């Protein structure tokens, strides 16, 4: 159970990647007062966590309704996770790229929800990963661990965004990119493991080995 809890927390936290959101948070809230930045950090973190929890709760039901098997979803989730890891290794972040993009985000009333909470924190890879983790949970206790991992990740997001200024000053752009690449390497390994688990569940690995 400890191994499952560790895998759940590490994979969710690294995919949400709070440090990687710091540059976008700073850009989107540069003209805001400290109180409003704190509120945005709180709302973004809570919305991201609730979104992940909601998908963890009903994601597998939706996929079963669509006729998707567990092995297929594990393989798809692993591929998405691996591709997200490659983007992190290449330091490609879903941040606003132009002054016009930043201005448009700043003018939106729901900047904490979009783009910070969704899709920067709770992106497609994180959503698919929580669903895969729920499908791998052997009992209620392990399922509860997934929700606990999401809650802890939300708390880390809030603390990170609250300390966005000092973090960016200490790490700098280079430091943030290096950290993102390191996290990406770990996520790539987790993604490959998800794929292997799906292949084993579908009994494709013995067939491939025999061929």
- Name the burial class of residue 139, with classes exposed (0-12), middle (13-18) and buried (19+) by CB atoms within 10 angstroms of its CB: exposed
Using the structure block, give the residue that is written with the tokens 């597998």. 60
Residue 143, pLDDT > 90, answer: yes
Residue 98, pLDDT > 80, answer: no
What whole-number percentage of the chain has pLDDT above 90?
A: 34
For 93, the enclosing helix (H) or strand (E) is none
pLDDT at 3 (0 to 100): 93
**pLDDT, average across residues 163-191:** 80
The answer to whether the beta carbons of residues 96 and 105 sit under 8 Å apart is yes
Tell me the pLDDT tens digit for each residue of 25-35.
887 887 888 89
pLDDT at 101 (0 to 100): 54
Q: How far apart are the first and last CA of the chain?
A: 35
DSSP-assigned states of every residue in 182-208: HHHHHHHHHHHHHHHHHHHHTT-HHHH
pLDDT at 124 (0 to 100): 76
Q: Among 80-84, 102-106, 115-119, which stretch is predicted with the lowest mean pLDDT?
A: 102-106
10 vs 103, higher pLDDT:
10
């Amino acid at each position: 159970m400890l191994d499952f809890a560790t895998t759940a927390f590490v994979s969710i936290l690294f995919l949400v990647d709070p440090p990687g959101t710091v540059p976008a948070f700073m850009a989107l809230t540069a003209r805001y007062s400290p109180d409003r930045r704190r509120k945005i950090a709180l709302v973004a973190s809570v919305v991201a966590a609730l979104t992940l929890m909601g998908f963890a709760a009903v994601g597998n039901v939706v996929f079963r309704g669509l006729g998707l098997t567990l092995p297929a979803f594990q393989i798809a989730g692993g591929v998405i996770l691996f591709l997200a890891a490659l983007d992190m290794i290449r330091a490609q972040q879903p941040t606003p790229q132009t002054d016009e993009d930043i201005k448009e985000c700043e003018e939106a009333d729901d900047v904490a929800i979009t783009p910070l909470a969704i899709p920067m924190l709770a992106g497609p890879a994180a959503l698919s990963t929580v669903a895969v983790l729920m499908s791998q949970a052997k009992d209620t206790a392990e399922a509860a661990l997934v929700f606990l991992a999401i809650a802890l990740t939300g708390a880390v997001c809030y603390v990170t965004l609250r300390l966005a200024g000092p973090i960016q000053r200490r790490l700098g752009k280079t430091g943030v990119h290096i950290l993102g690449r390191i996290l990406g390497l770990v996520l790539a390994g987790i993604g490959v493991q998800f794929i292997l688990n799906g292949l084993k569940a579908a009994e494709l690995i013995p067939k491939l080995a025999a061929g």
